[in-house]
Chains A and B, each alone.
Chain A
Amino acid sequence: DAGVIQSPRHEVTEMGQEVTLRCKPISGHDYLFWYRQTMMRGLELLIYFNNNVPIDDSGMPEDRFSAKMPNASFSTLKIQPSEPRDSAVYFCASTPGRLREAFFGQGTRLTVV
């Protein structure tokens, strides 16, 4: 298996633009997590899914953020409109079950100018 695949690896966009981050979890993993990492705040959980259903989105900072998981092999995190303070590395991770090892993707480095 190729592991968790995220795209794009880097994204530079202007303030106000819509940004869509994509994630393909490991096949057979039924949990998917979206994290955001910054120097100041570390790794923050934004939202997670179990069997494609959003379970907890309490970490989503604002209504500008939304996430979907239309099927077991694909998830998106959308920011609309984007702001400079959204600049961070966004990670997707999947696990094969509750409290099991989380496998992370390489991350998407987002810069909003």
Chain B
Amino acid sequence: QKEVEQDPGPLSVPEGAIVSLNCTYSNSAFQYFMWYRQYSRKGPELLMYTYSSGNKEDGRFTAQVDKSSKYISLFIRDSQPSDSATYLCAISAPDTDKLIFGTGTRLQVFP
């Protein structure tokens, strides 16, 4: 079983839609959760960072962590064509410096 599982998509939605991106993880010791966004032919960039269960909001983006289910989500409200990118979840345990990434979900928002 992979440590982090992520649906690769692609996901295609119309502008203005609410997007839900999800990851599951296997190790309950993981405590740090991040979402990165990667535009085509670019390196990933940090979008959201959280280390607790619950929701964290930043503008149109909400990161949700459910540690009991080992499930993390990223919601994008009022999606825009500029949100078209690959979204990667990343997790880490407190006793390690390593970030483990999901395979990424490719999102396309069409006008």
Contact = CB atoms under 8 A, between A and B. Distances in A.
Given A31-B97, A45-B99, A48-B97, A99 B43 contact: no
Give the bracket for the number of chain A residues in contact with chain B.
Answer: 20 to 34
A45 B41 CA distance: 19
A41 B103 contact: yes
B8 to A, nearest CB: 8
Interface string B1-40: 0000010000000000000000000000000101000000
Interface of A: 4, 31, 33, 35, 41-45, 48, 50, 55-56, 91, 93, 98-99, 101-102, 104-107
Question: Ordered nearest first, which 8 A-B pairs have the shortest CB separation?
Answer: A104-B43, A42-B103, A43-B101, A101-B46, A104-B44, A99-B32, A98-B97, A105-B43
A42 B97 contact: no
